[in-house]
Chain A
Amino acid sequence: MAGSHSDPLAHPEVRMGGAMRYIAGFISTVALMGAALIVTLRHDMGYETYVEVVGGLAALALLSQAVLFYGLDISRAQIWKSVSLILTVPLFIITVGLTVWMFQSLDQRTMVMPNSAAAATQPTLLQ
């Protein structure tokens, strides 16, 4: 088995990443979450816009983690990780997205939602 006799510390998987990248990853994620927190606390957007904005911030945070933490790219050492991730991301979206769509429609057709104050002020993704 190759690699067995070479220096493990020379492996590209060890060589990748770097202090600056990781610190940048930390700062960018915390900053994006901080921005989302501020938006949340100010409560001055419509529900839909709000979900879009924090969703966008989350997507950016995940992207920065993919690049800065996991070090994904299309180099020979990383290509299979990147490909497999790209193939799997649609499954995340399908699983949650279609499920929400399905139950949203089902609830509308089969359930009488309680008309309480909480229900009125608490829109969720299912409503």
Chain B
Amino acid sequence: MQVHVPGPWSPLFGRLTLDQIPYNIPILQYTFAGAMLAAIVVVGAVLYFKKVGYFWREWLTTVDHKKIGVMYIVIGLVMLFRGFADGLLIRTQQVLANGPNAPGYMGAQHGFLPPFHFDQVYSAHGTIMILFAATPILTGFQNIVVPLQLGARDMAFPYMNALSLWLTAGAAGLVMLSLFVGDFSAAGWVGLIPLTELPYSPSTGVDYWMWAIQISSVGTTLNAINMIVTIVEMRAPGMTWFRMPIFSWTTLSTNIIGLTAFPVLGVALALLGADRYLGTHFFTAGMGGNLMLYTNLFWLWGHPEVYFLILPVFGILSEVVPTFCEKPLFGYVTMVAASFAIAGVSWVVWLHHFFTMGAGPDINGFFSVATMLVGIPTGVKVFNWAFTMYRARITYTVPMLWAMFGLFLLLAGGLTGMMLAIPAVNYTVHDSVFVIAHFHCMVLLVVAAAFAGVSYWFPKVFGFRLDESWGKAFFWTFSIATLIVFTAMFALGFEGETRRLDWTFNTAWKPMLVVEEIGMILYVISLACFALMLVFSIVNRKKNAAGPDAWGTSRTLEWLTPSPVPFYNFAVTPQVNTRDELAWRRKHGLDKAQPEHFEAIHMPSNTGMPFVIGMLAAVWGFAMIWRIWWLAAISLTALIVCVIIRSFYKNEGYHLQPEEIAAMERDLALGSVVSEQPDRSHHHYSHVEAH
């Protein structure tokens, strides 16, 4: 039943041949050289400083939620950089390739990217930004912060947590690999149908896109389960539902979306995969397929997905704003209710992405009204933050600046979203760059909140604050660049520029395209500021060292732990007495109180299995992409066998003894770092066998 694929195929290498390596494309040569250089530096440094064991013990095999969170964020930031590079290429191509007389370079008729290459760039840009940058960064924050906010020792399933991470990492690796082996999808991040079908996209590009998303969504779904169970089962005593910090609440609501929406994406892509691999006719143009069925399934996931991204962002804003306003959040209960209202409504609006399908006035009307309803809870949130800031003593720290800029973007994105929700308007601007500008306000709000979160929680994780002045330089350059690029883009939308143009044929667009490019240059400068911020922060880390409560005005439990947080989180589980527990303790002079005696803590052991499984999944994806059936069979079998072997493990962790905790807490009080687990081969740690 194997479908016929164009081009050569051999049993040993599948579709893989030497000329799939695009060694003759200049941009990729530079990229490859750069990537190799970076890899050599990193690997060389690890080898030179003899840190291989350290990496294996402390990172690759860790089940500590904080380290897993850090790795998620690092992956996300790397992918954000990659996605930004794609964005830069898109913008530069469009400004160079303007009008019929635009010159062409490097084999392109206009600009420097031939259409097929340009199409891959924007497809990769969207896919990467949404699924491999924004999602991992936000998941990372949830991993680091939520267990601490709840007063828990770890996530409910530490092993599965590591597994989710390594699946995401493996999938991100596949996306990167597509740069150098084969190509990437050229059919948009949404997978425009029937372009993604085998006859129209015969290369492996669509397969890369499809399998990478599939593998990472399994990770996301597992993570959603983990988060929900952690929140339901692992709250410290006294942490009743309505004492839970808003970030934990939004994590709960967002993961309800994650849990329920991702399987639908899985189905959409699996059916497309069946078309491409088994010759079925789900979405083909003939033989009884239905193109719009794909679009429907994709957006059934796609719209909940955008709220999956935005809800944790609302959570971050709700932590940052009160901290720097030194006031409790205005309207806590309405904030919780609004989060769940948004999550609920996000399930009944998906058709607004294809109003132009023409399902009829009743249906467009229904989905239009449903879409606009989202504005109500979103508006409630905006007012809550505004009232929190109203007559507050605001400290304009870097996280607070990002949060305030985020509010502005939310307004701009939300109001243009309302415009798009009107079918009559939508018919004229659908598929124009007006839509791009709308959702970039929203996704840049995600980025703004991500940087708010990075600067806010950085001291918690690493024990020192980020450099304030370079942080501000980064903030101002980045936010002004955002305003320049996307204001111009709204204008271009009204001037009728459509999406995904490799050649911007209308010369009247030139001025705004140039403005956009100026904004891009500012973005590049902001990137340099970001790098300098990191450098100076590390240089000045002694000066910026942070105590448990790094900002002095924080309100939630994570700030009760030492910075950086010891691997066991809380030496003794805190008893929660009120909402904003830390603010309350500080007010009554109890924030420095220490427990009197310690009891043994049960800790999970590290394990390399999640890493192995994640890598096997990536190998399996690679084998499926290139149709190397023997490798696919072996890697899948190995993966299943690994899961089964793991279920036979008997080592269920170890106990930290009270004396050890007391000793580590003494060290912490003296200012040393206890974020590394003790070497478990030392016999004084009592291993517990399964009971």
Contact = CB atoms under 8 A, between A and B. Distances in A.
Touch A–B, Cβ below 8 Å: yes
Contacts of A1: 602
A101 B296 CA distance: 12
A102 B358 CA distance: 9
B359 A106 contact: yes
B588 interface: no
Given A102-B359, A106-B359, A91 B260 contact: yes
B351 A87 contact: no
Interface string A103-116: 10110111000000
B347 A106 contact: no
Q: How large is the interface on B (under 10, 10 to 19, 20 to 34, 35 or more residues)?
A: 20 to 34
Interface in B600-622: 602
Contact of B360 (A5, A88, A94, A105): A105
B90 to A, nearest CB: 32
A105 B256 CA distance: 30
Contacts of B362: 105
B300 interface: yes
Contacts, number: 42
B682 interface: no
Interface in A72-86: 80
A102 B300 CA distance: 12
A103 B359 CA distance: 7
B169 to A, nearest CB: 28
A99 interface: yes
B539 interface: no
B348 A102 contact: no
Q: Helix, strand, loop or mixed for chain B's interface?
A: helix
B602 A95 contact: no
Interface string B80-100: 000000000000000000000
Of the candidates A87, A98, A110, the one having the most CB atoms from chain B within 10 angstroms of its own CB is A98
B684 interface: no
A90 B347 CA distance: 10
Contact of A94 (B293, B347, B359, B602): B347
Interface string B111-133: 00000000000000000000000
A3 to B, nearest CB: 10
B360 A91 contact: no
B256 A101 contact: no
A101 B360 CA distance: 11
A101 B363 contact: yes
A80 B232 contact: yes
Contact of A98 (B256, B348, B602): B348
Nearest to A7: B691
Contacts of B264: 95
A4 interface: yes
Interface residues of A, number: 20
Interface string B293-312: 10010001000000000000
B669 interface: no
B260 A88 contact: yes
A87 B260 CA distance: 11
B680 to A, nearest CB: 18
Contact of A106 (B260, B348, B357, B691): B357
Contacts of A80: 232
Contact of B256 (A87, A90, A99): A87
A119 to B, nearest CB: 13
Contacts of A98: 348, 351
Contact of A5 (B347, B363, B691): B691
B296 A109 contact: no
Contacts of A106: 292, 357-360
Contact of B296 (A5, A94, A102): A102
B256 A102 contact: no
A43 to B, nearest CB: 26
Contacts of A108: 360
Contacts of A91: 260, 347
A105 B363 CA distance: 8
Of the candidates B290, B358, B360, the one having the most CB atoms from chain A within 10 angstroms of its own CB is B360
Nearest to B602: A1
A101 B366 CA distance: 11
A75 B510 CA distance: 66
A45 B634 CA distance: 53
Given A95-B300, A102-B296, A109 B358 contact: yes
A105 B359 CA distance: 6
A14 to B, nearest CB: 15
B300 A109 contact: no
B359 A109 contact: yes
Interface in B356-395: 357-360, 362-363
B363 A4 contact: no
B647 to A, nearest CB: 16
B358 A94 contact: no
A108 B290 CA distance: 14
Interface in A45-91: 80, 87-88, 90-91
Contacts of A95: 264, 300
A102 B293 CA distance: 10
A26 B514 CA distance: 71
B252 to A, nearest CB: 11
Interface in A23-58: none
Contact of B351 (A90, A102, A109): A102
A4 B691 CA distance: 7
Nearest to B264: A95
Given A88-B260, A91-B260, A109 B360 contact: yes
Nearest to B343: A87
Contacts of B360: 105-106, 108-109
The 10 closest A-B pairs by CB, nearest first: A105-B360, A106-B359, A102-B359, A105-B359, A1-B602, A105-B363, A91-B260, A102-B363, A80-B232, A109-B360
Interface of B: 232, 256, 260, 264, 290, 292-293, 296, 300, 347-348, 351, 357-360, 362-363, 602, 691
16 contacts: A80-B232, A87-B256, A95-B300, A98-B351, A101-B363, A102-B351, A103-B290, A103-B292, A103-B296, A105-B359, A106-B359, A106-B360, A109-B358, A109-B359, A109-B360, A110-B358
Given A102-B296, A109-B359, 13 more contacts: A4-B602, A4-B691, A5-B691, A94-B348, A95-B264, A95-B300, A98-B351, A99-B300, A101-B363, A102-B363, A103-B292, A106-B358, A106-B359
